[in-house]
């Protein structure tokens, strides 16, 4: 498969020690040699692969030095894209790196689209689709655990398991086809309902094992949407600041200070939280505060975890009781804050509302109880089970949806086998499951989906 030569800045924009302009394609060396002037008139196309060379980028039109560089040369197919790759290491800075990029584009390269380098790696057979998606998961990982899951997927752990399951299904399908097309061959073992049921049950169990990890994997990949709710002035913003370890939210003794939803990412013992501090939920005549309260109610419906904050020095109010009703059936940790003040809340009455919910007491003013809260959050979702390094975690929503559909198709085939449905009818559901698993690794996927997936990548990757 042949492509034109693409180029892009592969490092974040801004000031830094080094910035990299990457080229990939058949003309990568040709374009680079037009611009590069090395010691002794070195020609990049003639040097050894995977070497780096000092020199200058020259503007051929004026013969002026544009930048002092180190140029890495990597010859295909032993590269990320399996094409010839040149990486021009410039001084980090907007002007210098853009000057080099403009010269590269002027002399034959095309500006790469978002994710196009990784897309070429996929199309050239260097990686499969699930490994390509893991590249962005690795870049976006917010905790060590999330990074380890992405690394496992990039290494092909999920791909190998999916291919094994597809091979199991394919062998069954092939056996069924032989029985149907060549019934006169006595030496071919007949595919019985019992044999088919055994294989289908095995595949179903393996898919179910993968799906069991999906909740934890998805949390690690996307973060746990965590909403802090409570009446005004119970300490919601103080809790946000304690978890973030920075004064992100304004804290005062005046009720209604927080008027909008404040969002921050925080790592709590390996659990990435997308933390949302909401306006205190209460009835109010203030139009701005009322809008904030409505937004708070909206994010409440979409949350994975609720941190419901109460005031130790206040009795339970009607608003508190209404909040308990609003979060019924959700994952909730109740935080009784301000234990540094005299107790007015009735803890026995509170137990009627908390029941199976975790409850933590804190004094955020004195920095007490935060460790206990962090432990409660971690144990609620992981309970230490994520420590098994040899497990394959499914974290991608697309993969989870496809695995769920594949499991349903397998279950349909099992139901039909148990009902005595002819095997040639049963194979329809088996084929469907085989195709769905193939979509995960890109072996049976529409080009439009590939376009959509890689368009979400950052430029230069």
Q: Are 204 and 411 in contact (CB under 8 A)?
A: yes
The residues that bridge with 64 in the sheet, in sequence order, are: 59
6-112: CATH topology is Gyrase A; domain 2 (3.30.1360)
Q: Residue 187 — very low, low, confident or very high, per pLDDT cuts 50/70/90?
A: very low
* Mean pLDDT on 370-384: 78
Please report the pLDDT score of residue 275 as a whole number: 81
pLDDT (tens digit, 9 = 90+) per residue, 152-182? 888 888 899 999 999 998 888 887 776 655 5
282 pLDDT above the threshold of 70:
no
What is the band of 190 on the pLDDT scale with cuts at 50, 70, 90? low
Look-up of token digits 């690795």: 138
Residue 273, beta-bridge partner list: 224, 266
Instruction: Say what the pLDDT of residue 269 is.
Output: 78
- Degrees (nearest 5) of the Cα angle 223, 227, 229? 170
- Residue 317 pLDDT class (50, 70, 90 cuts): confident
Mean pLDDT score of the chain, rounded to an integer?
A: 81
Fold of 223-386: Rossmann fold (3.40.50)
Q: Which tens digit of pLDDT belongs to each residue from 7-42?
A: 999 998 888 889 999 999 999 999 999 999 998 888
For the chain, residues classed under CATH 1.20.120.430 are 132-213+393-455
Taking only the tens place, the pLDDT of each residue in 129-143 is 888 888 888 877 777
Q: What is the pLDDT of residues 212-250, one digit of tens each?
A: 877 777 777 777 788 888 887 888 878 888 887 755 443
Query: How is domain 132-213+393-455 classified at the CATH fold level?
Result: 1.20.120
Domain with CATH 3.30.1360.120 in the chain: 6-112
Specify the pTM.
0.67
Tens-place pLDDT, residues 434-458: 999 999 998 876 666 667 667 766 6
Give yes or no for residue 324 having a pLDDT over 60.
yes
Specify whether the CB–CB gap between 132 and 114 falls below 8 A.
Answer: no
184, pLDDT greater than 60: no
Residues 6+ apart with CB under 8 A from 105: 7, 111
Residues of the chain with CATH 3.40.50.300: 223-386
Per-residue pLDDT tens digits for 52-89: 999 999 999 999 999 999 999 999 999 999 999 999 99
């Amino acid at each position: 498969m042949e492509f034109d030569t693409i180029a892009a800045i592969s490092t974040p924009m801004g000031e830094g020690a080094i910035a990299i302009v990457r080229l990939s394609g058949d003309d990568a060396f040709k374009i680079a040699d037009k611009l590069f002037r090395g010691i002794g008139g070195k020609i990049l196309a003639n040097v050894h692969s995977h070497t780096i060379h000092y020199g200058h980028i020259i503007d051929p039109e004026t013969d002026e030095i544009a930048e002092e560089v180190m140029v890495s040369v990597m010859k295909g197919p032993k590269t990320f894209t399996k094409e010839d790759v040149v990486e021009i290491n410039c001084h980090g800075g907007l002007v210098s790196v853009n000057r080099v990029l403009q010269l590269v584009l002027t002399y034959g390269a095309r500006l790469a689209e978002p994710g196009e380098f990784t897309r070429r790696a996929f199309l050239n057979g260097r990686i499969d689709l699930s490994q390509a998606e893991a590249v962005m998961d690795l870049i976006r990982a917010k905790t060590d655990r999330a990074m380890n899951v992405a690394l496992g997927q990039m290494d092909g752990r999920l791909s190998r398991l999916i291919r094994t399951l597809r091979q199991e299904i394919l062998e069954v399908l092939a056996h069924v086809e032989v029985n149907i097309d060549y019934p006169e061959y006595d030496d071919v073992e007949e595919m019985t309902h019992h044999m088919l049921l055994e294989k289908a049950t095995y595949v179903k169990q393996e898919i179910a094992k993968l799906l069991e990890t999906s909740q934890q994997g998805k949390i690690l990949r996307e973060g746990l949407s965590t909403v802090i709710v409570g009446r005004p002035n119970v300490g919601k913003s103080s809790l946000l600041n304690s978890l973030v370890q920075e004064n992100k939210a304004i804290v005062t003794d005046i009720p209604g200070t927080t008027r909008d939803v404040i969002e921050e990412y925080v790592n709590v013992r390996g659990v990435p939280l997308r933390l949302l501090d909401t306006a205190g939920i209460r009835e109010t005549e203030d139009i701005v505060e009322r809008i904030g309260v409505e937004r708070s109610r909206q994010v409440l419906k979409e949350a994975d975890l609720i941190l419901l904050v109460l005031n130790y020095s206040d009795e339970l109010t009607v608003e508190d009781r209404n909040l308990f009703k609003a979060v019924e059936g959700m994952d909730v940790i109740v935080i009784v804050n301000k234990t540094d003040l005299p107790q007015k809340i009735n803890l026995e009455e509170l137990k009627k509302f908390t029941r199976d919910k975790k409850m933590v007491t804190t004094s955020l003013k004195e920095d007490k109880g935060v460790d206990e809260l962090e432990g409660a959050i971690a144990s609620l979702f992981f309970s230490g089970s994520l420590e098994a390094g040899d497990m394959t975690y499914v974290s991608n929503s697309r993969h989870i949806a496809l695995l769920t559909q594949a499991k349903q198709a397998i279950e349909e085939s099992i139901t039909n086998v148990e009902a005595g449905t002819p095997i040639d009818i049963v194979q329809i559901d088996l084929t469907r499951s085989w195709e769905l698993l193939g979509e995960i690794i890109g072996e049976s996927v529409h080009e439009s989906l590939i376009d959509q997936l890689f368009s979400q990548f950052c430029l230069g990757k």
